[in-house]
């Protein structure tokens, strides 16, 4: 019996303390009702950031899965090769193309901080559209190569601002001021990784100095990487050189066969003035100056030291106007003598005459359209175009025509390329802590016309492209400005 009572006592102690009822309840805690512990207060949603002292580090980027269908096998992966749409009598026009790709995914970081009276921003961004040397990338590999898009540092103190590194060119239209941040630039809302035809843009190294006389006005001067370009990039048109000067290709003029080996006289010089009278209105004026210089390599001329130097210039007017709430009109207009490289390389910068003299080539483009936000859906539509001028010369034999757009020139020497595109971007889910999921679609109609059409040859060509895209965007938000 004692052993049984002892066992019960052990089990009771193991189960926990037992309280006996006290008839007068004066000292009994068990008699009082037990209130549950208060639940911890829910943390407010916050973006993904890391803070080190006064410095904030924020990841940026998104993961894309893009599907692309073209009714002609135009090439260019998931980007459009605007200038090389195949003609209907070409074998590449007989088959359509379809592919999935994750290449437009982006990863990077942004660093914001303050040092004394200086505010600085560091920005880095990669995508996966780099050139892959592996031939089995679509067979069994899928190892797409990272590609540096942006890597720059910007510092500002008071009214002055300085930026150095690889950024979007200052010639690229802005949505706000002369900011280098991608969200403050206009390169359209399309899925196409080559954006729209007629848009002046590039990403390249350089330095810029900005002056802010007020919150509504910004002035900037930029010195950017130069490149004497004769055509051939991303399906762009190529000039015809005089026969004795064919050696200029790839040595003195960039024909997309060499990287960072072409001689250049000085950086491209870009000036811009932007006006933002109210938050819903932005317009700007931009000018560019470039100088081309070549050396005559023909026999007997090289010894005499014959150079040809010629300046090229261009300008643009751009505006982004919110006419009513959540409805914006956009207009971007660029014209140049020698600025074709900046229109996605779809026009050459210059032609070369038989005496080796350089002549900048006229080219220009525009993008007109609207963007509207309705609830969680962004809608957009753009009409854009590129025009490349004619510049014809006679070769040293006195009969053969050279240059661009002459009678008998290849049908790859485009006169115009036009594009009509529209699409949507639907936000499926969004949270400050966890990011966002979007579903996107785009339709694109392209048409190009050459300067010369041979007998019984097509006068023009066009293609249709459809994109769909699923995107997960990383959480993140810039810290408040100080």
Fold annotation for 47-473? Porin (2.40.160)
Measured distance CA(379)–CA(371) in Å, rounded: 6
Q: CA angle at residue 252 from 251 to 253, to 5 degrees?
A: 100
Quick: pLDDT tens for 204-259.
999 999 999 999 999 999 999 999 999 999 889 999 999 999 999 999 999 987 67
Residue 16 has what pLDDT? 42
With residue 59 as reference, give the H or E element that holds it: strand 55-70
Judge contact between 253 and 245, C-beta under 8 A. Answer: no
Whether the pLDDT of residue 31 is over 70: the answer is no
Whether the pLDDT of residue 342 is over 70: the answer is yes
Weakest mean pLDDT among 51-55, 238-242, 415-419: 51-55
Whether the pLDDT of residue 305 is over 80: the answer is no
Weakest mean pLDDT among 77-91, 280-294, 358-372: 77-91
Measured distance CA(121)–CA(124) in Å, rounded: 10
Measured distance CA(191)–CA(421) in Å, rounded: 10
Weakest mean pLDDT among 41-45, 172-176, 258-262: 41-45
Residue 115 has what pLDDT? 87
Measured distance CA(447)–CA(276) in Å, rounded: 35
Taking residues 414-434, report their average pLDDT: 95
Contacts with 231 (C-beta within 8 Å, 6 or more apart), sequence order: 237, 238, 239, 255, 256, 340, 345, 347, 348
Judge contact between 39 and 46, C-beta under 8 A. Answer: no
Whether the pLDDT of residue 43 is over 70: the answer is no
Whether the pLDDT of residue 25 is over 60: the answer is no
Residue 135 has what pLDDT? 66
Residue 193 backbone zone (phi > 0: left; psi -120 to 50: alpha; other: beta): alpha
Residue 76 backbone zone (phi > 0: left; psi -120 to 50: alpha; other: beta): left
Whether the pLDDT of residue 480 is over 70: the answer is no
Whether the pLDDT of residue 296 is over 60: the answer is yes
DSSP string, 365-382: EEEEEEEEEETTEEEEEE
Beta 160-168 vs 145-157: how paired, if at all?
A: antiparallel
Residue 300 has what pLDDT? 58
Residue 137 has what pLDDT? 73
Quick: pLDDT tens for 133-145.
666 677 877 788 8
Handedness of CA 270, 275, 279, 281 (dihedral sign): negative
Residue 261 has what pLDDT? 86
> Is 481 or 309 the better-scoring residue by pLDDT?
309
Residue 304 has what pLDDT? 53
Quick: pLDDT tens for 2-11.
443 344 333 3
Residue 8 has what pLDDT? 35
Beta bridge partners of 246: none
Residue 139 has what pLDDT? 81
Taking residues 388-414, report their average pLDDT: 96
Mean pLDDT of the chain: 88
DSSP-derived 3-state class of residue 183: helix
Whether the pLDDT of residue 178 is over 90: the answer is yes
> Is 98 or 304 the better-scoring residue by pLDDT?
98
Domain extents in the chain = 47-473
Whether the pLDDT of residue 19 is over 60: the answer is no
Judge contact between 71 and 464, C-beta under 8 A. Answer: yes
Measured distance CA(162)–CA(152) in Å, rounded: 11
């Amino acid at each position: 019996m004692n052993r049984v009572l002892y066992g019960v006592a052990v089990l009771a102690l193991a189960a926990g303390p037992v309280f006996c009822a006290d008839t007068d309840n004066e000292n009994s805690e068990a008699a009082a009702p037990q209130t549950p512990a208060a639940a911890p207060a829910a943390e407010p949603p916050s973006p993904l950031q890391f803070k080190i002292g006064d410095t904030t580090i924020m990841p940026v980027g998104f993961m894309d899965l893009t599907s692309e269908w073209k009714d002609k096998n135009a090439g260019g992966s998931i980007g459009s090769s605007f200038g090389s749409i195949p003609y209907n009598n070409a074998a590449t026009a007989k088959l359509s193309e379809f592919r999935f790709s994750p290449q437009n995914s982006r990863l990077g970081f942004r660093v914001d901080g303050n040092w004394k009276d200086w505010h600085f921003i560091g920005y880095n961004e990669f995508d996966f559209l780099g050139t892959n040397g592996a031939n089995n990338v679509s067979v069994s590999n899928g190892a797409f190569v990272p590609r540096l898009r942006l890597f720059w540092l910007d510092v500002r103190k008071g009214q002055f601002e300085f930026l150095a590194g690889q950024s979007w060119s200052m010639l690229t239209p802005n949505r706000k001021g002369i900011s280098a941040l991608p969200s403050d630039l206009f390169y359209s809302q399309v899925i196409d990784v080559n954006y729209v035809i007629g848009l002046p843009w590039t990403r390249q190294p350089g330095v810029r100095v900005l002056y802010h006389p007020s919150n509504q006005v910004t002035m900037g001067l930029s010195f950017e990487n130069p490149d004497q370009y004769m055509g051939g990039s991303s399906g762009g048109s190529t000039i015809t050189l005089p026969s004795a000067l064919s050696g200029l290709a790839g040595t003195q003029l960039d024909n997309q066969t060499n990287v960072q080996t072409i001689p250049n006289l000085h950086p491209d010089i870009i000036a811009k003035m932007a006006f933002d009278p109210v938050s819903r209105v932005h317009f700007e004026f931009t000018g560019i100056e470039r100088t081309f210089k070549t050396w005559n390599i023909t026999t007997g001329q090289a010894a005499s030291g014959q150079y040809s130097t010629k300046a090229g210039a261009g300008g643009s007017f751009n505006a982004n106007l919110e006419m009513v709430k959540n409805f914006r009109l956009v207009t971007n207009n660029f014209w140049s003598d020698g600025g074709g490289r900046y229109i996605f390389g779809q026009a050459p910068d210059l032609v070369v005459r038989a005496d080796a003299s350089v002549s900048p080539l006229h080219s220009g483009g525009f993008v007109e359209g609207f963007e509207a936000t309705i609830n969680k859906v962004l809608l957009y539509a753009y009409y854009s175009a590129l025009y490349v001028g004619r510049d014809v010369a006679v070769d040293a034999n006195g009969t053969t025509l050279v240059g661009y757009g002459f009678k008998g020139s290849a049908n790859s020497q485009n006169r115009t390329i036009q594009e009509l595109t529209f699409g949507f971007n639907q936000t499926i889910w969004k949270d400050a802590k966890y990011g966002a999921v979007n579903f996107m679609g785009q339709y694109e109609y392209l048409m190009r016309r050459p300067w010369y059409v041979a007998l019984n040859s097509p006068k023009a060509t066009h293609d249709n492209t459809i994109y769909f895209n699923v995107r997960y965007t990383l959480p993140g938000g810039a810290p408040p400005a100080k």
